[in-house]
Amino acid sequence: MSRQTPAELLLAKAEDRSAVIGIVGLGYVGLPLAMEFARAGYRVLGFDVSTPVVDSLNAGCSHVRDVPNAAVARLLEAGRFAATADLTRLGEPDVVSICVPTPLSKTKDPDVSYVLAATDAVKRTLRRGQLVVLESTTYPGTTRELMLPALASTGLKVGEDFFLAFSPERVDPGNPTWGTRNTPKVVGGITETCRRLTIAVYQPAIDRLVPVSSPEAAELVKILENTFRSVNIGLVNEMAIVCDKLGVDVWEVIEAAATKPFGFLKFMPGPGVGGHCIPLDPHYLAWKMRTLNYRTRFIELAGEINAEMPEYWVAHVVERLNEQGKAARGSRVLVIGVAYKKDIDDVRESPALDVIRLLAQRGAVVSYHDPYVPTLRADGIDLQSAPLGADALAAADCAIIVTDHSSVDYGLVARHARAIVDTRNALARLPKRSAEG
């Protein structure tokens, strides 16, 4: 009787769900993925360097808004999920999915230190038969050029002794329709066997897998998706400036253009872009191409326009204050919404942080209201969300709507604020009588 190869053994474990799944990084990406693997019948061991996060999860408390406490508690009780801060246990899982942050440095270069640290931890315990999947967004070549040499230095051979793939996360926090399970997942393996095994392991937890020919193709897919959004957001943000100078309502123009049933996709202007993807991902590609002596002009221009939008809207605040005969210095400005998008609590790269910083630089007394963000550290200052009432609105010299959370009473804002700058067109959605007061 022939002995099974490591690939055959892992494939069998995927088919009967006996494979143990390890998730490195239990944040917005890793924790929802861990839940889906556990719901699919696998046993999941989650790794995180934060002991408070690990302790909280092991007590059945989720720190990620899209993952209810009850879901964590149920899978803990069933013995299908546990969390640990002990990276020496990375030899236990059959599959290790790396879901760590990939920020940018101050010079807008990719910071892959978290990926390298996770790879080093995996390398120390790597054994025959393990599959390693990188999910963190990064530049094309990261999996093959950084991870593969590190893991292969153990003497194990990729595609035979261990397996390596890239499968980009596509998490959209707060999206009620598209979650980890029903969002199609792209997979590119170092070898065909690596890709085949990754698909077999993920298939029970993800509705649709999309195989591509290589890790580089998979890495570029994610960057293309968010570069597409960045460029189009940059376009409509510039159109907002154009319309402002022409005295035309940009939102009216966009809504009318969106009636065309082909050839147009509706993007909306705003105070800039935020989150961990759109402001960062295009820079990964721009950096990579600079190493190949090519300048990605479209990408860089869109980034410049989007980065300038907080300044544009702060100038509108200053203008509204001037109309009241007030200077920015000493004026009270209320920022409504500081999360990077509506109905979530994530402030990563939020344009609201730049808005607050720019207002403070002009000497304004800044406060904020956000039902999802009770406390905030902006420009070295600790702030607390203020209640949004008639008195608070009337006390402010100007209110600026930066994030259009659904639960905010914009009718109240329209009736009681002395001056309003609306970066999201939130007031236009009010019934006419409510908007007029």
As given in the structure block, the two tokens for residue 177 are 């329709």
**CB proximity list for 250: less than 8 A, separation 6 or greater:** 236, 239, 240, 242, 243, 244, 269
* Catalytic site positions: 277
Model pLDDT, residue 173: 87
Does 437 have pLDDT greater than 80?
Answer: no
Model pLDDT, residue 393: 96
Does 357 have pLDDT greater than 90?
Answer: yes
Closest CA to 401 of 424, 377, 419: 424
- Return mean pLDDT, the chain: 94
Does 293 have pLDDT greater than 90?
Answer: yes
pLDDT (average), residues 136-142: 94
Buried/exposed code over 189-204 (b: 16+ C-beta within 10 A; e: otherwise): bbbebbbbbbbbbbeb
pLDDT band at 95 (very low <50, low <70, confident <90, very high): very high
Our CA dihedral for 176, 182, 188, 192, rounded to 10 degrees, sits at 170
Contact 56, 63 (CB under 8 A): yes
Q: Identify the H or E element spanning 393.
A: helix 390-395
Domains of the chain: 6-213 (3.40.50.720), 237-436 (3.40.50.720)
| Residue where the block lists tokens 């949004």 | 388
Contact 286, 358 (CB under 8 A): no
Does 269 have pLDDT greater than 90?
Answer: yes
As given in the structure block, the two tokens for residue 291 are 């190493």
Q: Identify the H or E element spanning 378.
A: strand 375-378
CA–CA distance, 160 with 149 (Å, rounded to integer) = 15
pLDDT > 70 in the chain, percent: 98
**CB proximity list for 281: less than 8 A, separation 6 or greater:** 137, 222, 223, 226, 227, 230
CA–CA distance, 78 with 38 (Å, rounded to integer) = 9
As given in the structure block, the two tokens for residue 390 are 């008639």
Query: pLDDT tens-digit profile of 203-227?
Result: 999 999 999 999 999 999 999 999 9
Model pLDDT, residue 103: 86
> Across 48-155, where does the E strand assignment appear?
81-84, 95-98, 131-134
pLDDT band at 150 (very low <50, low <70, confident <90, very high): very high
List 382's β-bridge partners, or say none: 377
pLDDT > 90 in the chain, percent: 88
Model pLDDT, residue 321: 97
Amino acid at 84: T
Model pLDDT, residue 432: 63
List 210's β-bridge partners, or say none: 186
Does 12 have pLDDT greater than 70?
Answer: yes
The DSSP string of 171-194 is --TT-SS--TTTS-EEEEESSHHH
Main-chain phi, psi angles of 100, to 5 degrees: -105, 160
Query: pLDDT tens-digit profile of 81-91?
Result: 999 999 999 99
pLDDT (average), residues 134-154: 97
Query: pLDDT tens-digit profile of 22-80?
Result: 999 999 999 999 999 999 999 999 999 999 999 999 999 999 989 999 999 999 999 99
CA–CA distance, 389 with 47 (Å, rounded to integer) = 43
pLDDT band at 279 (very low <50, low <70, confident <90, very high): confident
Model pLDDT, residue 62: 96
Amino acid at 267: F
pLDDT band at 162 (very low <50, low <70, confident <90, very high): very high
pLDDT band at 436 (very low <50, low <70, confident <90, very high): very low
Phi-psi sector, 137: left (phi>0), alpha (psi -120 to 50), beta: beta
Model pLDDT, residue 429: 81
Our CA dihedral for 298, 304, 307, 311, rounded to 10 degrees, sits at -140
